[in-house]
C-alpha cells in the first residue's frame, strides 16, 4: 500500500468495490433489458450480495475498533437513509405511471407494495406463488426481492457480529461460522431447486427468492471481511499476482453469466455459488491498490456507474415492465425488445443520476433543502411547497394504482373462461330439450297411421358412386372421435376447440407438462375414455424430452396423434419444438400442429403474458389443429402386407414340395 494514499477509513470506501458494483449492475441490466445477450446475468445479484456483506461487516468491525461498541440504532438509521429515499421515489413514481396504464401491470399491486414497504418482497412473492422464472407476466416490483434479502441481512447480521465479538474466539473461528452457514445455504439451494424444466420452475423460484437458500453471497462477503478486517489496511494477500488473479476472477464471473440461464439446473447446483467464490477472489485481488487491476477498477467511468448502481437497479426493472405494457404486441425475444431495452437503459441512467444528485446524496448528508435555505426565505418556502405537492401527487397515484389493481390477469381470465367452456360442454346432452312426441300426443288434425300393410316398393338400383377427384380432401374425424390433452394454453383455447370440433373431449390443466402425459393417457385408456385421435398441447411450462415423447407414443398406440408446438418467451421452447418436429417425421401417424409458427407474427392476439391466446388467437390455434388433422386424414393407405404365397411379393418364397 502506498504511503501517500489516504487511510481507507478516512476515504470512506474500499478499493475496487465500485467497479464490482458496476460489473454487477451491468450484468443485471444486460440480462433484463437485452434478452439473450447475457442469459445468466442474474448472477450480478450474487456479486452485489458479496460486496454488501463484505462492506457492511468491514464497517461494523471498524466502528467496534474505533468506539469500542456497535451502535445498532445508528447503523440501522444510516442504512435507512441510504436505501429508503430512492426506493420510495421509484416505487411511488412507477406505481403512479402504472395506474395510468392499467391492466395486467397492476395485478398483485397490493402484496407488492406490502413487500416493498416491509422489506419482505421475497417472502411475499413466495407465498403469493409468484415465479421469478416466469418472464411472461412480470410484476412491477419483482426485482425488490434482492433488496429484501439484503435488508433482512442488515437487520440480523449486526446482532450476530456483536455476539461473536463478545466471545473469546480466534479469527479463524469468526470466519468459520459464516462460511459454514454460507455452505449450508448453497447446498440447500441445490437440493431445493430441483429441475426447473420438470416442474415449471416453482421449486427453483422459491429457492432463488428465499433468504435462507440465497444468502450465501452475503455470508461469504461477511466471512471475508471478518478474516481480513479490510479497513485496517492489511497487507495484500495476493501480492504481485493480484492483477492476473483479479482479471481471471472477473472474467470467470462473466463466463458464468454467459454460460448459464435461469432455467438451467446447474445455475442452482453451483453456478451462483461459483460466481460468489470468484467475486471473493476479485475483492482479494483489488486489495493491492498499486496493482494495475486496482488502478483500472478506480477509473472514473466504473466508479461513476458503481456509485449509481443502486438507482440503476431500482429504476430499470419497473421501467422495462411499463414499456412492455405500453407495447403489448412486442416480441420479447427479438430486435424490438432490444430497442425497448436501449430506451429503458438510457432513461434509467438519467433517472439514477438525478436521484443520486438530488435525493440520495442530500438525504445521506442531511442536506436535502440546503440549497433552498442558502437562497433564503421565499425560495426555501417554494422548495418546501414543491416537494410537498410532488409527494402528495405520488401518494395519490400510488393509492390509485392500489385501487385500480385487478384481481386477476388477462391470462387468468382467459383460462377461467376456457375451464367454464369445458365444464359446460361436459354436461349431459339433451338437458333442457323437449322429449320426442308419443303417438298419443299427435294432434287430432294429423292423419292417423293406417293399419293396412303398405305395398313394398320395388327395389331401385343404386347408381355406382363416381370416383372422387384426387384433390378432394379426406373427411376429418368428428369431435366425438377426438380427445385433447393440454396445459393452460389449450385451456384458454378450449372455447374455439369446442366450436371447431363439437363433441371433442378436452382434458387441460394449468401447469401440465409432457412428462406427466403418459400416465394421463394410460388412465384415460383404462377408463375407456381414450378416443381414436389424440391431441397433445403442452410445452409452455417445461422442456419436452425425447424419452417423454417416446413414452407418449407408446401410450397412444396405433391411434393418430397430433402434437402442438409451444409458444412462449422461454428458453426451452425452440429445443422442445424441434424435438416435436423430428419425432413427427419419424412416425407416420404423428403430425405437428405448428402453433408457434402460426402465432409468432401475431403476438397481439395473445394475453399480456404472450402465452395464452385470446378469442382470435384461439381460432388460429384450433385452425392449426384442423390442418394437422387434415394432413393425417389425407395420408394414403398403407399397402397390404406381402402375400407369402406369391413369389413376386416374397423373394424368399420356395415352392412347396
Residue 530 clears pLDDT 80, i.e. is over it = yes
Listing DSSP states for 553-583 in one string gives: HHHHTTSEEEEEPP--SSTTHHHHHHHHHHH
Residue 626 clears pLDDT 60, i.e. is over it = yes
Q: What is the pLDDT of residue 268?
A: 97
Q: What is the pLDDT of residue 366?
A: 76
Residue 119 region by backbone torsions, left for phi larger than 0, else alpha for psi between -120 and 50, else beta: left
What proportion of the chain, given as a percentage, has pLDDT over 70? 85
Range of weakest confidence among 59-68, 152-161, 233-242, 323-332: 323-332
What is the pLDDT of the chain when averaged over all its residues? 87
Residue 376 clears pLDDT 70, i.e. is over it = no
Q: What is the pLDDT of residue 463?
A: 55
* Cell numbers placing 441: 300426443
Q: What is the pLDDT of residue 407?
A: 84
Q: What pLDDT band is residue 556 in, cutting at 50, 70 and 90?
A: very high
146 CA to centre of own chain: 15
18: Cβ–Cβ under 8 A, 6 or more apart, which residues? 297, 298, 302, 303, 305, 306, 307, 309
Residue 327 clears pLDDT 90, i.e. is over it = no
Residue 445 clears pLDDT 60, i.e. is over it = no
Mean pLDDT of 648-653: 56
Residue 2 clears pLDDT 70, i.e. is over it = no
- Residue listed under C-alpha cell 316398393: 457
Q: What is the pLDDT of residue 43?
A: 98
Residue 534 clears pLDDT 70, i.e. is over it = yes
Residue 490 clears pLDDT 90, i.e. is over it = yes
Q: What is the pLDDT of residue 603?
A: 85
117 CA to centre of own chain: 23
Count of CB atoms situated within 10 Å of the CB of 126: 19
Residue 17 clears pLDDT 70, i.e. is over it = yes
- Residue listed under C-alpha cell 442530500: 362
Mean pLDDT of 454-477: 62
Of the two residues 145 and 408, the one the predictor is more confident about is 145
Mean pLDDT of 338-366: 93
Residue 330 clears pLDDT 90, i.e. is over it = no
CA distances (Å), 621 to each of 73, 300, 580, 612, in order? 60, 54, 17, 10
Largest CA distance in the chain: 128
**pLDDT tens digit string along 202-255?**
899 999 999 999 999 999 999 999 999 999 888 888 888 999 999 999 999 999
Mean pLDDT of 561-583: 92
Mean pLDDT of 356-363: 91
Q: What is the pLDDT of residue 456?
A: 54
Residue 37 clears pLDDT 80, i.e. is over it = yes
Residue 438 clears pLDDT 60, i.e. is over it = no
Q: What is the pLDDT of residue 250?
A: 97
Q: What is the pLDDT of residue 636?
A: 83
Residue 8 clears pLDDT 50, i.e. is over it = no
Of the two residues 253 and 460, the one the predictor is more confident about is 253
Count of CB atoms situated within 10 Å of the CB of 419: 18
Q: What pLDDT band is residue 434 in, cutting at 50, 70 and 90?
A: very low
Of the two residues 424 and 437, the one the predictor is more confident about is 424
pTM of the model: 0.81
- Please report the sign of the dihedral spanned by the C-alpha atoms of residue 569, residue 573, residue 577, residue 580: negative
Q: What pLDDT band is residue 446 in, cutting at 50, 70 and 90?
A: very low
Range of weakest confidence among 286-290, 484-488, 564-568: 286-290
Of the two residues 645 and 81, the one the predictor is more confident about is 81
Residue 619 clears pLDDT 80, i.e. is over it = yes
Q: What is the pLDDT of residue 447?
A: 40
Q: What is the pLDDT of residue 375?
A: 58
- Residue listed under C-alpha cell 417472502: 123
Of the two residues 562 and 135, the one the predictor is more confident about is 562
CA distances (Å), 192 to each of 133, 196, 204, 205, in order? 15, 11, 7, 10
**pLDDT tens digit string along 122-160?**
999 999 888 887 766 789 999 999 999 999 999 999 999
Q: What is the pLDDT of residue 432?
A: 38
Q: What is the pLDDT of residue 389?
A: 92
Listing DSSP states for 5-42 in one string gives: SPPHHHHTS-TTHHHHHHHHHHHHHHHHHSTTTSTTGG
CB 70 within 8 A of CB 161: yes
Q: What is the pLDDT of residue 471?
A: 66
List every span in the chain annotated with CATH 3.40.50.1110: 479-634
CATH topology of domain 479-634: Rossmann fold (3.40.50)
**pLDDT tens digit string along 89-119?**
999 999 999 999 998 999 999 999 999 999 9
**pLDDT tens digit string along 503-521?**
999 999 988 989 999 999 9
Mean pLDDT of 39-67: 96
Amino acid at each position: 500500500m502506498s504511503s501517500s494514499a489516504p487511510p481507507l477509513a478516512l476515504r470512506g470506501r474500499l478499493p475496487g468495490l465500485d467497479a464490482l458494483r458496476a460489473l454487477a449492475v451491468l450484468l443485471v441490466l444486460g440480462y433484463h433489458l437485452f434478452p439473450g445477450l447475457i442469459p445468466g446475468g442474474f448472477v450480478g445479484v450474487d456479486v452485489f450480495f458479496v460486496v454488501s456483506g463484505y462492506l457492511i461487516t468491514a464497517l461494523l468491525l471498524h466502528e467496534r475498533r474505533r468506539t469500542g461498541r456497535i451502535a445498532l440504532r445508528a447503523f440501522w438509521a444510516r442504512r435507512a437513509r441510504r436505501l429508503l429515499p430512492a426506493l420510495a421515489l421509484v416505487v411511488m413514481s412507477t406505481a403512479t405511471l402504472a395506474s395510468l396504464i392499467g391492466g395486467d401491470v397492476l395485478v398483485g399491486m397490493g402484496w407488492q407494495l406490502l413487500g416493498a414497504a416491509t422489506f419482505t418482497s421475497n417472502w411475499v412473492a413466495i407465498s403469493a406463488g409468484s415465479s421469478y422464472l416466469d418472464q411472461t407476466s412480470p410484476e412491477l416490483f419483482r426485482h425488490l426481492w434482492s433488496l429484501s434479502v439484503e435488508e433482512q441481512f442488515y437487520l440480523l447480521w449486526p446482532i450476530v457480529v456483536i455476539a461473536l465479538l463478545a466471545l473469546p474466539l480466534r479469527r479463524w473461528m469468526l470466519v468459520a461460522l459464516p462460511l459454514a452457514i454460507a455452505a449450508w445455504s448453497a447446498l440447500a439451494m441445490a437440493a431445493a431447486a430441483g429441475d426447473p424444466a420438470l416442474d415449471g420452475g416453482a421449486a427453483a423460484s422459491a429457492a432463488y427468492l428465499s433468504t435462507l437458500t440465497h444468502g450465501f453471497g452475503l455470508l461469504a462477503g461477511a466471512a471475508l471481511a471478518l478474516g481480513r478486517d479490510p479497513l485496517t489496511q492489511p497487507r495484500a494477500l495476493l501480492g504481485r499476482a493480484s492483477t492476473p488473479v483479479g482479471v481471471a476472477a472477473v472474467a470467470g464471473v462473466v463466463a458464468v453469466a454467459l454460460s448459464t440461464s435461469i432455467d438451467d439446473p446447474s445455475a442452482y447446483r453451483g453456478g451462483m455459488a461459483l460466481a460468489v467464490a470468484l467475486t471473493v477472489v476479485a475483492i482479494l485481488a483489488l486489495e493491492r491498490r498499486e496493482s494495475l487491476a486496482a488502478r483500472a477498477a478506480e477509473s472514473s467511468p466504473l466508479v461513476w456507474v458503481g456509485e449509481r448502481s443502486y438507482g440503476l437497479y431500482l429504476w430499470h426493472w419497473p421501467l422495462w415492465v411499463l414499456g412492455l405494457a405500453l407495447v403489448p404486441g412486442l416480441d420479447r425475444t427479438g430486435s424490438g425488445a432490444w430497442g425497448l431495452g436501449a430506451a429503458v437503459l438510457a432513461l434509467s441512467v438519467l433517472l439514477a443520476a438525478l436521484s443520486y444528485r438530488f435525493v440520495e446524496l442530500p438525504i445521506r448528508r442531511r442536506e436535502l433543502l440546503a440549497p433552498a435555505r442558502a437562497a433564503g426565505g421565499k425560495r426555501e418556502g417554494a422548495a418546501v411547497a414543491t416537494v410537498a405537492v410532488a409527494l402528495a401527487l405520488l401518494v395519490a397515484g400510488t393509492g390509485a394504482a392500489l385501487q385500480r389493481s385487478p384481481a386477476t390477469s388477462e391470462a387468468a381470465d382467459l383460462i377461467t373462461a376456457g375451464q367454464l367452456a369445458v365444464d359446460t360442454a361436459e354436461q349431459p346432452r339433451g338437458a333442457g330439450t323437449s322429449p320426442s312426441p308419443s303417438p298419443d300426443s299427435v294432434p287430432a288434425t294429423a292423419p292417423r297411421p293406417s293399419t293396412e300393410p303398405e305395398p313394398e316398393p320395388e327395389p331401385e338400383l343404386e347408381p355406382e358412386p363416381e370416383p372422387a377427384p384426387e384433390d378432394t380432401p379426406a373427411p376429418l374425424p368428428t369431435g366425438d372421435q377426438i380427445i385433447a390433452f393440454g396445459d393452460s394454453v389449450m385451456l384458454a383455447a378450449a372455447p374455439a376447440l369446442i366450436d371447431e370440433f363439437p363433441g371433442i373431449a378436452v382434458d387441460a390443466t394449468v401447469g401440465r407438462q409432457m412428462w406427466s402425459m403418459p400416465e394421463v393417457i394410460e388412465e384415460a385408456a383404462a377408463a375407456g375414455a381414450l378416443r381414436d385421435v389424440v391431441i397433445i398441447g403442452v410445452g409452455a411450462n417445461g422442456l419436452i424430452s425425447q424419452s417423454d415423447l417416446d413414452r407418449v407414443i407408446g401410450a397412444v398406440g396405433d391411434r393418430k396423434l397430433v402434437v402442438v408446438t409451444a409458444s412462449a418467451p422461454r428458453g426451452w421452447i425452440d429445443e422442445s419444438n424441434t424435438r416435436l418436429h423430428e419425432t413427427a417425421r419419424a412416425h407416420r401417424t404423428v403430425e405437428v400442429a405448428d402453433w408457434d409458427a402460426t402465432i409468432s407474427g401475431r403476438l397481439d392476439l395473445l394475453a399480456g403474458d404472450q402465452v395464452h391466446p385470446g378469442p382470435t388467437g384461439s381460432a388460429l390455434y384450433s385452425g392449426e389443429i384442423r390442418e394437422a388433422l387434415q394432413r393425417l386424414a389425407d395420408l394414403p393407405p398403407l399397402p397390404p402386407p406381402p402375400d407369402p404365397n406369391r413369389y413376386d411379393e416374397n423373394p424368399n418364397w420356395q415352392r412347396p414340395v
